[in-house]
Amino acid sequence: MLKILMLCLCLGLLNPLISVLAQEPALEHDCWFTASEDIPAYGDSELLVRHPAFQTMEAGLSFRVAELGETKALLTIDHAFGFWIEISNGILSGDCTTVTQYETQFATVTANTRLWSYLDVETGEVIQPLSQDTEIIVMSGAVSGRIRFDSSVRGNWYQIRVGDLTGWVWAERLNLQQDQSIVEGATALNNTRLWTLPTVVDSLVVMELAKGTIVNIIGGPVSGRIRVDEPITGVWYQVQVDNQIGWVWEGRLEFE
């Protein structure tokens, strides 16, 4: 059923199957959002990038709320598929007091630095310089990546937005106003693969992980494609297994 659902989403169709799934009877402990009008659906928490598979939420549809901010909410169909909306265009119902409160993460640049296209000085490109005290929005991180051209030394990077630009900045160049912690360990489930990038598109499989393999989480969470044939995104974590570093979709991990 999930495969059929995702196919319909990619085609931009809101058929009865979606309506039934979205409007199943709400449990009292769930927080739900019901659209009062057709509203845009976004793929990012800043409500700037339209979702590639679910561009519009039609009036009358209801979805569970996973994260709730002052003006926006993350709605989910399942753990691997969700989108952001502006909550002023609908109604919240159920118990929303226990929903994770989403807070925009802000930071300032502590010294003249550079915004990179990727979290690696060898493969990334400089998008533009950033001057000291520039205010930015933290989108994801921390994620481990190369910080030197002449060696394999690695450090933590954060994906940030400044104005209309999105890129990566080395953590040592940021004054983070709120710490973003990551999970320390997890165990691989069935059919787990370690990927070179947090996406199945333009990425390579580093190795297959046997069920029960213990991995160390060193970065994430980061959003990326989880299907080749459909524009469906999910949450990825950067992990280390022995001496190998790569990315695993959270749907293949059991966290400690």
- The label of the residue with tokens 């690696």 reads 120
pLDDT of 183 strictly over 90: no
Pair (78, 13) in one structural domain: yes
Whole-number percent of the chain with pLDDT over 90: 19
Lowest-pLDDT range, 8-17, 60-69, 78-87?
8-17
pLDDT of 172 strictly over 60: yes
pLDDT of 113 strictly over 50: yes
Q: pLDDT of 84-105, one tens digit each? A: 999 999 988 888 887 877 767 7
Give the β-pairing of 62-68 and 100-101. parallel
Pair (146, 229) in one structural domain: no
What's the whole-model pTM score? 0.50
Pair (117, 73) in one structural domain: no
Quote the CA–CA distance of 19 and 75 in Å, as a whole number.
15
Cβ(47)–Cβ(76) below 8 Å: no
- List, in order, residues 6 or more apart from 150 with CB less than 8 Å away: none
The domain in which residue 205 lies consists of: 185-255
Pair (119, 94) in one structural domain: no
pLDDT of 31 strictly over 90: no
Which CATH number does the domain housing residue 207 bear? 2.30.30
Of 120, 95, 125, the closest CA to residue 27 belongs to: 95
Quote the CA–CA distance of 37 and 235 in Å, as a whole number.
29
Quote the CA–CA distance of 92 and 33 in Å, as a whole number.
5
What is the tally of structural domains in the chain?
3
**Boundary (domain end) residue, out of 76, 101, 126:** 101
Which CATH number does the domain housing residue 118 bear? 2.30.30.40
Q: In what order do the strands lie in the sheet with 174-176?
A: 126-130, 113-116, 165-170, 154-162, 135-146, 105-109, 174-176
pLDDT at 177: 58
**Boundary (domain end) residue, out of 79, 101, 123:** 101
In which band, very low, low, confident or very high, does the pLDDT at 157 lie, cut at 50, 70 and 90?
confident
**Boundary (domain end) residue, out of 118, 152, 176:** 176
Pair (82, 17) in one structural domain: yes
Quote the CA–CA distance of 207 and 30 in Å, as a whole number.
38
Pair (86, 14) in one structural domain: yes
pLDDT at 22: 44
